[in-house]
Amino acid sequence: MPYPVLQIADKLIALTAKDQGDSITNLKLQKLLYYVQGFNLAAFQSPLFEEDIEAWMYGPVVPSVYNHYAHFGADPLESTGDEVLMLKPEEEELFQEVYKAYSVYSAIGLMNMTHKEAPWRSVPTAPGSVIPKETLRDFFKNKLA
């Protein structure tokens, strides 16, 4: 069963080690949502969240999350401070692995990575241009192997 996308976003923000000087912007958050969704689809054949991911100029975007955090501009995002969502154990393990693997990259580094990948390249670049979940699933299945 999919989780609320804003709780997934807050989970990613909360994982950011601010005490070690790390930060997460809306741009970086969007790319991490793309990766956790893609790997979840590949591993479990179900979405982590229901909302579509669109192919925007700067890479994959979940519009509702982008709009929710738009007032931060390019500044680091802050967690809501609510209790962080816990996923099912197998989903949590994958989520943490994906976060660990991709959070080390900058927002621009992640943007450049997504621009080279088939899901973003397979649809026109414009707001409203949805990357199909099947495309994500199939692409990330190859990355799991």
* Residue 145's pLDDT band (cuts 50, 70, 90): confident
> What's the pLDDT at 20?
66
**Closest C-alpha among 143, 133, 144 to residue 34:** 133
Kindly state the tokens that stand for 133.
């979940």
Single-letter residue type at 86: M
> What's the pLDDT at 79?
83
Q: How far apart are CA 101 and CA 88, in angstroms?
A: 20
For 67-122, what is each residue's pLDDT tens digit? 999 999 999 998 877 889 999 999 999 999 999 999 999 999 999 999 999 999 99
> What's the pLDDT at 19?
62
For 5-59, what is each residue's pLDDT tens digit? 999 999 999 998 766 678 899 999 999 999 999 999 999 999 999 999 999 999 9
Exposure string (b/e) for 73-108, b if CB count within 10 Å is 16 or more? eeeebebeeeeebebeeebeebbeebbeebbebebe
Angle made by CA atoms 79, 84, 90, in degrees to the nearest 5: 130
Predicted TM-score of the model (pTM) = 0.96
